[in-house]
Amino acid sequence: MTTQTPAPAAQAGLSERYQPLIGGRFASPTTETFAAINPATGAHLADITRGSQADITDAVAAAKSAFPGWAATPVEQRSAMLVELARVIDANIDRLALIDALDIGRRVSETTIDHARAADQYRFFAAAAVTHAGWNRSIAGGIAIAKREPIGVVGQIIPWNVPAIMAAFKMAPALAAGNTVVLKPDENASLSTLELGKYISEIFPPGVVNIVPGLGEEAGAALTAHPDVQKLAFTGSTEVGRLIAHAGADRLVPVSLELGGKSPNIVFPDVTDVDAIVDNAAFAVAHCNGQSCLAGTRLFVHDDIYDTFMPKLVAGFERIVVGSPLDPTTVVSCLVSSEQGERVLDYIDIGKKEGADLLAGGDRIDVPGNEFGHFVRPALFATENSARIAQEEIFGPVLSVIRWNDYDTMIAEANGIRYGLAAGLYTNDIANAMKTADALEAGSVWINGYFNMIDGSPFGGYKDSGFGSEYCAETLNMYTHLKSVTLLNEPVAPFFLP
């Protein structure tokens, strides 16, 4: 296997020390730091300020001070700044992608796509905001108006798996709608977001965007509890999402949550290009090293094609190249941390102990020059829908294949999960495709192509996968109040007082 030694931090242009972006400046009253470590090699990349309650207090104060001016800024000017940020990302995409590959261990070809998609999001909401409005109608003697107004200071917390996309999903609509932001990146993936902050500080007015790295139980908890934060937005685990929801309920502020998933991916017997579907089903579970809430981790294969499909799927899994994040031949690279690596391996052991049939992969391997990392061959199990590996979110490259022959039973099992984020299906029958899409309890259903996210199409979940839609024009509604104004041409005639 060909490998490539990861580039040092200097090659990516990293700073030795990163501080929060607060009020347009990189400064902090906090002196304590934590290390950014390359998960593949164990190399020390940089020191990052461990954001404290004092940092959050300063950041929220800066955002609150900047809000009136930003909200009053014409939408065309706000949009122009978002477009400029997208342009800067495009101009620096190779460097930003390398930083993420070093920081989170994903292959650089994937992280490049992440930043391209992030730039697209800033452009999309720059355009969407210009046409985002309420409504008006004539009434007897006047007019009724519904106005969209920004909420205020928005607290946002993002995860480590796709930091570029997550930052864009949160910041683009919030800023386009006229809010100011305090963003906390995950402690396992702060570098590219803080580098993005350098560009932001040159484009946006001070205080409009504030970025505070730190631990969830410290900076994250302080942000969710701060009385001047008027909206909370979170992407991460369902368990933490509940805590965020409780924090919002305590202060009666709106909350949007994008949480976990255990998505079904269904193969119908009428498909013809089995090889293409095998490839897409493998991609659905192994993209992002399986560390995705969207991953198609439960594959339902019909009896009639099972014996044809499965040998091809096993052979496909065995061809997956596991290697360095910087090797262009790599398909799956290392997991984000030793903790995550051990979690995935533990679930693979659980599957074996429960009697699931391990058909391919499932072992940790050494990659020369990257011995520190947890590199796990994608695991392929034949199992039942009731198995723990088919019910619990693993967040790693583990696929549970479930054989089916009765449509109603299959739909019940596909929906028989606590999550409802995404689903996929493969069929040549359009009527069956739409019938099944309607029957699936999932926020996104992809037909004949998993992960087929299109700018402007809603992204959000049902059940324990959260609530609120991102990635679409409607997202702007989550970041605005709807105010009613009724205007009469002249005072109404007296009718109450004698």
Among 379, 242, 371, 363, smallest CA distance to 314 is for: 379
Residue 240 lies in a domain: yes
- Are 412 and 278 members of one domain? yes
Q: Are 344 and 394 in contact (CB under 8 A)?
A: yes
The residue segments making up the domain with residue 283 are 264-447
pLDDT for the residue numbered 106: 97
Beta strands in 387-496 (DSSP E): 398-404, 419-420, 422-426, 444-447, 462-463, 466-467, 480-488
Q: Is 293 a catalytic residue?
A: yes
Q: Which two tokens stand for residue 128?
A: 């969407």
For position 368, which CATH number holds?
A: 3.40.309.10
Q: What is the mean pLDDT of each run of 10 residues along the chain (498 residues)?
A: 47 93 96 97 97 98 98 98 98 97 97 97 97 89 94 98 98 98 98 98 98 97 98 97 96 96 98 98 97 97 98 98 96 97 98 98 97 98 98 98 98 98 98 98 97 90 95 96 93 77
Residue 455 lies in a domain: no
- Are 213 and 242 members of one domain? yes
Residue 19 lies in a domain: yes
Residue 489 lies in a domain: no
pLDDT for the residue numbered 485: 94
Q: What is the DSSP letter of 29?
A: S
Under 8 Å CB-to-CB from 79, ≥6 apart: which residues? Answer: 126, 127, 129, 130, 176
- Are 339 and 428 members of one domain? yes
For position 31, which CATH number holds?
A: 3.40.605.10
Dist CA 262 CA 187 (whole Å): 24
Domain count of the fold of the chain: 2
Under 8 Å CB-to-CB from 488, ≥6 apart: which residues? Answer: 141, 142
- Are 251 and 270 members of one domain? no
Burial profile 366-383: b = 16 or more Cβ within 10 angstroms, e = fewer: ebebbebbbbbbbbbbbb
- Are 220 and 97 members of one domain? yes
Question: What is the side-by-side order of every strand in the sheet holding 142-150?
Answer: 135-139, 142-150, 480-488
Q: What is the pTM of this model?
A: 0.95
User: Would the CA dihedral through 240, 423, 119, 340 be positive or negative?
Assistant: positive
pLDDT for the residue numbered 455: 85
pLDDT for the residue numbered 9: 61
Residue 204 lies in a domain: yes
Dist CA 231 CA 154 (whole Å): 5
pLDDT for the residue numbered 10: 65
Q: Is 84 a catalytic residue?
A: no
Which residue is catalytic, options 187, 218, 293, 334? Answer: 293
User: Would the CA dihedral through 395, 401, 406, 409 be positive or negative?
Assistant: negative
pLDDT for the residue numbered 298: 98
Instruction: Give the residues across from 298 on adjacent strands.
Output: 264, 400
Which residue is catalytic, options 110, 258, 393, 441? Answer: 258
- Are 255 and 271 members of one domain? no
Q: Return the SS3 of 329.
A: coil
Backbone phi, psi, residue 417, to 5°: -150, 155
pLDDT for the residue numbered 452: 85
Beta strands in 289-416 (DSSP E): 298-302, 357-360, 364-365, 375-376, 379-382, 398-404
pLDDT for the residue numbered 1: 36
Residue 216 lies in a domain: yes
Backbone phi, psi, residue 259, to 5°: -120, -145
Return the number of other C-beta atoms located less than 10 Å from residue 386's C-beta.
Answer: 11
Dist CA 445 CA 434 (whole Å): 10
- Are 195 and 300 members of one domain? no
Of the residues 447, 475, 492, the one at which a domain ends? 447
pLDDT for the residue numbered 167: 98
Residue 497 lies in a domain: no
- Are 149 and 115 members of one domain? yes
Alpha helices in 73-207 (DSSP H): 75-91, 93-104, 108-130, 163-176, 191-203
Residue 231 lies in a domain: yes
Q: What is the DSSP letter of 6?
A: P
Q: Are 107 and 331 in contact (CB under 8 A)?
A: yes
- Are 303 and 392 members of one domain? yes
- Are 432 and 479 members of one domain? no
- Are 228 and 327 members of one domain? no
pLDDT for the residue numbered 3: 41
First to last CA, the chain: 93
- Are 183 and 281 members of one domain? no
